[in-house]
Structure 1
Amino acid sequence: MADLFIYVSLLLIWAMLFYHAFLMLGGYYHSLKYKNYKRRLNRLNLPEGEYPTVSILIPAHNEEMVIVETIQSMIQLDYPKHKLEVVIINDNSSDQTGSIIDKYAKAYSYIHAVHTKPPFAGRGKSGALNQGFNYSTGEIIAVYDADNTPEPSAIKNLAIGLMKDRRAGAIVGKFRVVNANKNLLTRLINIETLTFQWLAQAGRWLWFRMTTIPGTNFAIRRRVLEELGGWDEKALSEDTELSIRVYNLGYYIRFFPEAITWEQEPENIRVWWRQRTRWARGNIYVILKYLFQMHKLKNKKVIIDIFYFLFTYLLFFGGVLISHIIFIVNLVHDLELSIGVVSYALLITGFLLFVTEICLALSIEQRQLTLKNFLIVLLMYFTYSQLWVFLVVRATYLEIKRVLFRQEITWYKTQRFKQLERKRNSA
């Protein structure tokens, strides 16, 4: 029986490794096409009068530590200010966030403060975004988290991308980690972030014309958001859930890495654990919401993503967990595994494939494939990646308990850290 379990677990693990290798090749090919495309970016500029009106929504709950830099980056955006409005939603903050926003709203006509009030206050990011959306007027809606500092050209690139591609319902930019060099954890997150964008985002875009809306640095057409009825306030991963509904309308979501923002990532394991648990629970919510409704989906391509989430959070992590359990039990009690040397060869080969995929992603970004990052990647497989296994188990338990006992969804806002110096790596 132990042999059967180890064979099944290895099959699941290798299926995911092959799929990720396939995506990473797509991401790498996309980066090559993108480098050639950058030379022609100037042709994308629109005449001054043809730029669409853009509303930027920034949900903010107790963000006094980072909100000033975010607002300053909005002021520095290279976009016609008479076509721009920045709607900052002060969502039931108990610190100085509200007064900071009000100060800037008085000084700049295109900056607007929205203060949520009960019973709509403090209900999470989706609720705050819906409040800001109801206030906004732009033809295009862009979203940034309160810890983001987009580069001056970010909004222009997102807006032009939508104007030049009528089939795109939304467009997604690239995000970089502003505190990547703070400690080992932020370095690991930086590597994870770059890999996700070039593997999952760019790779899926090249092969399937699919990309997932992230929580920040994206733009969506107002008419699309109106047709969808805004954000799902029950979703902890409101971005993933919104992506599926956009595809189901018949649009696609374009990946456009020229639109760049910089964001802060967790600097200690406690904050990371709580943030990633929320993400995992949100994705499990999406699986449960759409798994038994796939036959009702108009755009069958969405099934690719639903199945990917199902495979990742149930089958792949399940396979990894089973293999770990068998390995540990076999150390103290001989399970008489017949696979023996073959299993170790497969595990070692899988590790090398993991390292190759990540290094390929790092090679796309300037000054990221360094000796230090390579050594961190080696460490990442045995530490950071393994934490995800336990995190998904915890998130699955919490989400099952919420469904069974009909518990109210509680939102965890990621803790921010004061940045003494913001040093950006080259994008």
Structure 2
Amino acid sequence: MANFLFLASLSVIWIMLLYHMFLMQGGYFHYLSFDKVIPNWKEKFKDLPKVSILIPAHNEEVVIGQTLKAMTKLHYPKDRLEVIVISDNSSDRTEEIASSYAAEFPFIKVVVTQPPHSGKGKSSALNQGFKASTGEFIAVYDADNTPEPMSVYYLAMGLHQDPKAGAVVGKFRVINAKKTLLTRFINIETICFQWMAQAGRWFWFKVATIPGTNFAIRRSIIENLGGWDEKALAEDTELTIRVYNSGYHIRFFPAAITWEQEPETWKVWWRQRTRWARGNQYVVLKFMVQFFKLKRKRIVFDLCYFFFTYFLFFFGVVVSNTIFVVNMFFDLQLTVGIVSMVLWVLAYLLFITEVFITLSIERTEMTRANFFTVMLMYFTYSQLWIVLVMYSLYLEIKRMLFQQEVKWYKTERFNQSNQDKKKR
């Protein structure tokens, strides 16, 4: 029995590794070709649609000024632009800072959430901001984002030129990547996610996932879907499933770039990633119940991918590690000892290869520091993710069994010095 479980768990792990190698190849192909449509699209993009940018903000005084400053520098006609800051139950200077920008720039306005909608989390804040918006396209940015000047233009252009696209998602980079070892890990994780999970799935299957920031979606879709799901901690993934099930696809267009702040301490990282993991687990369980009712076969495939990622893969890792450790103290009569070691070494080498090839896409990231960071990442950061996902699953099952209310955790922000910004 132990031999069967061990081999089965190794098979699950290797299926995921090989699949990500396949995605990495697609991501690299997309990197070589995604910008070839830009000259032709620009020629046709004359009558620019109105874009409403929603920025949910709860106690964001540390970063909101920097974000709004970036909004004023966007290369998009200001008479076709509407920036809405949703101050959601803020007790600091968020509303004051946002209001000072609104007083200077007519296209910026502030919406303050009111009971019973205040303090309910990002989805609720987005729904309140959406009610105050008037744009044909709705863009979303987190309060710690500094989008590059052409980002909104590229998002709107992607939607305008691709009528089958319900949403267009851009690329995000880590502004504080060099701050700590943790932010270096996150920077590498972010790059790999975008060029493997996003670009690879788009290139091979025309599937991408809406992130929490730097995306634009058609107003008509939000209206037809009834807004964001306020019970979802991962409102972006949940919205993704419903957009695809409505008959649209989601385009990954990395020409649109934003820079965002990532957690600089492990405590903040743990709480943020626990929310992400629980949110994605909620989405998988929610739509698995409706599996046979989903209209779009393409999103069924992606739902299976999330199920494999957040359930089967991590269970496979836990089972294989558990059997390996137990066998060190008790003879489980494993007959795959040498084979398991060979497979483990090959898995590590494959992980390293995938990451380095992906980093090569971002020209500034093939550094000596990142070389050693990647070597260490497999044994530390990646293993901690396994513990986090198992813990998140425990919390999510507990919530479902005892009908507990979902509590939103707002990621803590850090002061970003001008010197750190210049390094990026």
Structure 1 counterpart of 2:421: 423
Distance 1:303 1:99, change over 3 A: same
Match of 1:31 in 2: 31
CA distance in structure 2 between the aligned counterparts of 1:367 and 1:58, rounded to whole angstroms: 29
Amino acid in the other structure paired with 1:295: F
Shift of 1:46: 5.5
Deviation at 1:25, TM superposition (A): 0.8
CA distance in structure 1 between the partners assigned to 2:422 and 2:194 by the alignment: 18
Aligned residue number for residue 75 of structure 2: 78
Kindly state the Cα deviation for residue 43 of structure 1 after the two structures are TM-superposed. 3.6
Structure 2 residues not aligned, in runs of 5+: none
Could you report, residue by residue, the CA deviation over 1:77-131 in whole angstroms, capped at 9, with x for unpaired residues? Answer: 0000000000000000011101111111111110010000111001000000000
Match of 1:21 in 2: 21
Does the CA-based 8 Å contact 2:212-2:236 persist in structure 1? yes
* Partner SS for 1:382: coil
Structure 1 position 177 matched with structure 2 position 174? yes
- CA shift in 2, pair 1:281/1:163, >3 Å: same
Q: Does 1:269 align with 2:230?
A: no
How many Å apart are 1:291 and its aligned residue? 0.4
2:150 maps to 1:157: no
Q: How does 1:195-344 map to 2 (within 5 A)?
A: 195-344=192-341
Return the letter of the residue paired with 1:423.
Answer: K
Number of positions where the alignment pairs a residue of Structure 1 with one of Structure 2: 423
Whether the 8 Å CA contact 2:169–2:250 is kept in 1: the answer is yes
Contact preservation (8 Å) 2:210, 2:239:
yes
Q: Contact 1:178–1:424 (CA<8 Å) still a contact in 2?
A: no
CA–CA distance in 2 between the matches of 1:235 and 1:265?
21
Alpha carbons 1:124, 1:411 under 8 Å: kept = yes
The TM-score, its normalising length taken from structure 2, stands at 0.98
Shift of the alpha carbon at 1:334? Answer: 2.7
Aligned match of 1:144 in 138, 141, 144? 141
Partner SS for 1:161? helix
The CA distance in 1 between the partners of 2:320 and 2:110, in whole Å, is: 52
Cα distance, 1:301 vs structure 2: 1.0
Q: Counterparts of 1:416 and 1:397 in 2: how far apart (Å)?
A: 27
Runs ≥4 in structure 1, deviation > 6 angstroms?
none
Identity of aligned residues (%): 60
**Helix, strand or coil at the partner of 1:372:** helix
Q: Distance in 2 between matches of 1:69 and 1:157?
A: 21
State the 1:183 CA deviation.
Answer: 0.8
Deviates more, 1:122-131 or 1:93-102: 93-102
Q: Whole-Å Cα distance in 2 between the matches of residues 195 and 11 of structure 1?
A: 22
Displacement of 1:420 in angstroms is 1.1
Q: Please give the alpha-carbon distance, in whole angstroms, between the structure 2 residues aligned to 1:12 and 1:28.
A: 25
* Residues 48 and 320 (structure 1), Cα distance of their counterparts in 2 relative to 1, 3 Å cut: closer
Structure 1 gaps of 5+ residues are none
Paired residues of 2:45 and 2:160 also in contact (CA < 8 A): no
Give, in angstroms, the shift of residue 246 of structure 1: 0.4
2:373 paired residue among 376, 379, 393: 376
Specify whether residues 424 and 197 from structure 1 end up closer, same or farther in structure 2 by C-alpha distance, changes over 3 A only: farther
Whether 1:349 and 2:346 are equivalent positions in the alignment is yes
Contact residue 237 and residue 282 of structure 1 kept, 8 A: yes
Query: Structure 1 residues 299 and 52, CA, compared in 2 at 3 Å: closer, same or farther?
Result: same
1:387-426 to 2 correspondence within 5 Å?
387-421=384-418, 422-423=420-421
- Give distance in 2, aligned partners of 1:99 and 1:193: 32
| Contact 2:52-2:139 within 8 A present in 1 as well | yes
Q: CA deviation at 1:425?
A: 6.5
CA-CA distance at 1:156 after TM superposition: 0.5
Higher mean C-alpha deviation, range 311-320 or range 189-198: 311-320
- AA partner of residue 62 (structure 2): M
| Alignment match of 2:62 (pick from 60, 65, 71) | 65
User: How far apart, in 2, do the equivalents of 1:377 and 1:48 lie?
Assistant: 41
Partners of 1:46 and 1:160 within 8 A in 2: no
What is residue 100 of structure 1 aligned with on the other side? 97
Q: Which one of 86, 108, 111 corresponds to residue 108 of structure 2?
A: 111
Structure 1 SS opposite 2:297: coil
RMSD over aligned CA atoms reads: 1.2
Cα distance in structure 1, aligned partners of 2:98 and 2:91: 13
